Amino acid sequence: MDIRQLIDSVQLNCHISDARHAGNYTLCVYLLKMREFYRWEKQQTYSKKLSSDDIGAWLSKREQLWEEVEAEDYHQDYYQKNPVRYNYYRYICGRDQRLEELWGTK
Mean per-residue pLDDT, 75-93: 86
Enumerate the domain spans of the chain.
1-64, 72-106
> What is the rounded CA–CA span in Å between residue 32 and residue 16?
9
What are the angstrom distances between the C-alpha of 33 and each of 16, 46, 77, 92? 12, 13, 30, 26
pLDDT of 28-58, one tens digit each?
Answer: 777 788 888 899 999 988 888 888 899 889 9
pTM: 0.47
> What is the rounded CA–CA span in Å between residue 55 and residue 93?
31
pLDDT of 63-80, one tens digit each?
Answer: 888 888 777 777 778 889
Instruction: Give the DSSP letter of residue 72.
Output: S
